[in-house]
Amino acid sequence: MSQSPPTRPSLLIRLRDSTDHDAWKQFVEIYTPLVYAYCRRRGLQDADASDLAQDVMQIISKRADAFDYDKSRGTFRGWLFTVTLNRLRDWAKKAERKEQGSGKSAVHQVLNEMPAKEAEDLWNKEHQWRLFQWAAERAKPSFRETSWNAFWLTAVEQKPAKEVAESLSISVGAVHIAKSRALAKIREIVDEVEN
């Protein structure tokens, strides 16, 4: 998963229907942790990041019925990033006003110091990691515990296959097969959601 894929247009179209609970559940499971994690990395405390993530999801739910997918206008994830960044700026302005005379808040300072390209790169990396975690949670039940551990230890924790094989009492070949199968399953799940 070296590059973060665009959001599948079919999911976005399904979001227009507020009664499509499966689409909304999938959307919220993927994107709420992304918005939350991004806000935390930008300096918000846990409760503030949670509140802001909920605000962003509410904005999306209110605007989803009018959303027309047109990739020439940019990606959905780019639009979501803009909505998140705007809410984060609004939050920082409110926090700054509350500090009355103490100067800029730490979050506001971080927002102003980080170049736009760096902020977007951070957003995309966070999206890639959150999407991987989401797909991995769904893939895990398809594997025996030993196979899953072989995959996780080598692919995520970056441990050498030989070391993992010894710790799990399996062959190095079995470790490579487990890793390959788990990655294929995760890619399949990601492809169901994104192009």
Structure tokens at 84: 């998140």
pTM above the 0.85 mark?
no
Q: Is residue 173 part of a domain?
A: yes
Domains of the chain: total: 2
On whether both 127 and 147 belong to a single domain, the answer is no
For the chain, give the percent of residues with pLDDT over 70. Answer: 76
pLDDT tens readout for residues 161-175:
999 999 999 999 999
Calculate ∠ Cα 42-47-50, nearest 5°. Answer: 70
Q: Is residue 101 part of a domain?
A: yes
Residue 151 lies in domain: 143-195
pLDDT tens readout for residues 103-140:
445 555 555 566 667 777 888 888 888 889 999 999 99
Q: State the DSSP string of 49-81.
A: HHHHHHHHHHHHHHHGGG----GGG--HHHHHH
Compare 18 and 68 and report the one with higher pLDDT: 18
3-state secondary structure of 101: coil
Where does a domain end: 94, 109, 131?
Answer: 131
On whether both 8 and 75 belong to a single domain, the answer is yes
Task: Give me the CATH number covering residue 127.
Answer: 1.10.1740.10
On whether both 101 and 44 belong to a single domain, the answer is yes
pLDDT at 168: 95
- Cβ-based neighbours of 41, under 8 Å, separated by 6 or more: 122, 126
Where does a domain end: 107, 131, 155?
Answer: 131
pLDDT at 100: 46
Q: Is residue 136 part of a domain?
A: no
- Indicate the angle between helix axes 116-139 and 21-41, nearest 10 degrees: 130
Distance of CA 20 to the CA centre of its chain: 21
Q: How many CB atoms lie within 10 A of CB 25?
A: 10
On whether both 51 and 99 belong to a single domain, the answer is yes
- Cβ-based neighbours of 174, under 8 Å, separated by 6 or more: 147, 150, 165
pLDDT at 146: 95
56-60, 65-69, 155-159: least confident range: 65-69
Q: Is residue 137 part of a domain?
A: no
Structure tokens at 131: 């999407």
Q: What is the mean pLDDT of the chain?
A: 81
Task: Give me the CATH number covering residue 154.
Answer: 1.10.10
